[in-house]
Structure formats: structure tokens, C-alpha cells
Amino acid sequence: MQLTKYTHACVRLEDGDRSLVIDPGSFSEVEEALDGVHDVLITHEHADHVDTGALARAVAGDSSLRIWAPAAVTAQLGDLGDHVSTVGPGESFNTAGFEVTTHGGQHALIHTSIPVVANVGFNVDGLVFHPGDSLEVPAIDVETLLVPVHAPWSDVGRVIDFLVGVRPRQAYNVHDGLLNERGRGLVTGHLQRLGARHGVDYRPLDPREQVTL
């Protein structure tokens, strides 16, 4: 399977003639990520994870495209009808030939005055886990972890604890669109050094960089 990282939280997975995009949001190269893709997974409703206009255009260009997301997102995409399916935690389904299981359920707390929204983490083909905006350790073995390395609801200590708690074989960065190069370097150093103590190979990817899983 080939993974392409886009800016911030969006990734594209490809395996032969199968393709799947997760979280094509407003901070990412959305049109490029969605070009020719078969299906889409959305973890939650925040704009940096879902661009509803781009999804509508993608569906207009491909009548077979399907989108899987929590209820708050599917409500926003109601005009797309049968192209959209609602998912919650603890489910499994097949999309674009990929076997997907869902985990978590809630977005990380930003502040007590800000309501917590639904957030679904996706494990794809038992090979790669995208947690969305959550640092809840899933009750599964994770081969490849996509780590939300920076957010208003997080700090580097919590990110380290998440990486060590999941303890995948390998890990790559997502949710880094608000970091400058100095911040990325600092976080990368901590995750590589402390992850290695627990057998985790952490490697940062640049936007549009590809890696074979």
C-alpha cells in the first residue's frame, strides 16, 4: 500500500487499482488528493478535516464515489444522498476494496466551554490507523500510526504518550499544518528519540511525500 501525505490531516492510500482518501480538509491540497479517488473517509466535522464543497465536486465527477463519516458530517452532505454513509465507533465495513474498522468516538477536549464533537478513528486493512483529532489509544494492534503531532487541544507530552501507548511498528505525522519548521523539528526529535526506546520507527513526511507501507 502506498500512502501520500498532504498538508495537515489529509492522506491518500493506494493499493493497485484501489484508492481511498482520509480527511480532505481546507488546509490540504484537496482537489489533488481527491482526483480520481474511489472513496473517502471523514473522521469529524471540523473544516480542516472536511471540505464539503470539494466533496460535492468530486461526487459530481464520479457517480460511484462514496463517503463515510459521523452523523454531523453526513448531515452537512445531505444533498449527496446515497453517496454518503454514517458511521460510528465499533463498526466495520468494506469501501473501495479496503476493510475498515472504526474506533474512538469523541474529539479531544479543546476547552470546557467548547462542546466535544464526534470523532471516528479509521483502521484500514489492519495496516494504517488515522485517529482524527483524538489521542485515545485504540484497543487494537496498530501497524502504522498517523500521529496528530500538533493541535490547540494537545501538547507534545500527550503526543509522546499516545505514540508510546499505541506502540506501532512505524509512525508518520499528520495534523501539523499550524507548525513552523522549528516546531516540527522539535516535535520530530522527541518522537524519534522516545519512540525508538519503545520499538517505534517514527519518520516525518513532507506534504506530497509518498511512502510504501
> How many domains does the chain fold into?
1
Q: Phi and psi at residue 95, in whole multiples of 5°?
A: -145, 130
Report pTM.
0.97
Pairing of strands 98-106, 92-95: antiparallel
Q: Indicate whether 213 belongs to any domain.
A: no
Q: Indicate whether 143 belongs to any domain.
A: yes
- DSSP state, residue 167: -
Q: Indicate whether 146 belongs to any domain.
A: yes
Q: Indicate whether 73 belongs to any domain.
A: yes
Given this model, what pLDDT does residue 41 score?
A: 98
We report the CATH number of the domain holding residue 87 as 3.60.15.10
Query: What are the pLDDT tens digits along the chain (213 aa)?
Result: 999 999 999 999 999 999 999 999 999 999 999 999 999 999 999 999 999 999 999 999 999 999 999 999 999 999 999 999 999 999 999 999 999 999 999 999 999 999 999 999 999 999 999 999 999 999 999 999 999 999 999 999 999 999 999 999 999 999 999 999 999 999 999 999 999 999 999 999 999 999 999
CB distance 132 to 121 below 8 Å: yes
Rg of the chain on CA atoms, in Å? 16
Given this model, what pLDDT does residue 136 score?
A: 97
Given this model, what pLDDT does residue 82 score?
A: 94
3-state secondary structure of 129: strand
Q: Is 155 exposed, middle or buried (0-12, 13-18, 19+ CB in 10 A)?
A: exposed
Q: ∠89-176-17 over CA atoms, to 5°?
A: 60
Q: Indicate whether 211 belongs to any domain.
A: no
Q: Indicate whether 129 belongs to any domain.
A: yes
Q: Which domain holds residue 72?
A: 2-204
Given this model, what pLDDT does residue 14 score?
A: 98
**Which residues on neighbouring strands pair with residue 148, listed in sequence order?**
174
